[in-house]
Amino acid sequence: MANSGNLNFNDPLFIHPSDTPGMNLITDRLTGVENYGIWSRAMLIALRAKNKISLIDGTNKRPHAGAATVSQWERVNALVLSWIMNSVSKEIFGGIVYATEAHVVWSDLKKQFDKINGSRIFSIHRDIGRMSQGNDTISVYYCKLKQLWDKYASLVTLPSCECDTARKYIEHDQQHRLLQFLLGLNESYIYIRSQILIMDPLPSIGHAFSIISQEESHILLSAVDPPTSIFYSKQNKPAPKKRIS
């Protein structure tokens, strides 16, 4: 009979001593259609880190009865099942608690909640168009935009091939994000925004963020420290002459 001590660390059936049924792999719980995209992505990242993806995509199937690994497979399957159950709401938990295989539960949750429709895409696209810096710092504003871009990308599949058409499409998408970022900046950044827009080629969104962040630091520093000319004018101002009575 196989056990973790006899398995290679890279084997999906290996159980690390820190892997326990009560673990919460992610902080957010699945509540329904509205957060399935983010939840499933976070769970995939966590399960990949645990080397347990094959238990939910169906590639690591239950061994035949009498196989040396059947007992170990059942332990790992139960472990992954518990991790999934720990990450869903009480309402969803009630519908999967009697399941016996992790990949069946994963597949059923996808069929039930992975609903991509035009209204969701429209809503996110509208939020991106309305996003502006306002009272946020450049970093907070950029993070909010990036979260919306990531949500949009999870719903709209971009070309992933190495062809020239896909490369141009991705370049266009990145340029569009850059313009959205610059468009939402406060008017205090109008000059640096103009300087970025005349750069040839246009910088990446990451480079533009770095430039704007430096400008933000200069603006904040100017607001705190008085101009040098004012300081020296006060220091060198002659003392008033005493009146002779």
Residue 178 CB burial class (10 angstroms; 0-12, 13-18, ≥19): buried
Residue 155 has a pLDDT of: 76
| DSSP single-letter state for residue 154 | H
| CA separation for the pair 204, 177 (Å, rounded) | 9
From first to last of its 245 residues, what are the pLDDT tens digits of the chain? Answer: 455 557 788 899 999 999 999 999 999 999 998 888 889 989 999 999 999 999 999 899 999 988 999 999 999 999 999 999 999 999 999 999 899 999 999 999 999 998 777 778 888 899 999 999 999 999 999 999 999 998 888 777 666 667 787 788 888 889 999 999 999 999 999 999 999 999 999 999 999 999 999 999 988 888 776 555 544 555 555 555 555 54
Q: What is the pLDDT of residue 1?
A: 45
Query: What is residue 88's three-state secondary structure?
Result: strand
Is pTM, for the whole model, over 0.75? no
85, with CB counted inside 10 A (0-12, 13-18, 19+), is middle
Residue 237, token pair as written in the block: 């101002």
The pair of structure tokens assigned to 22 is 């009560």
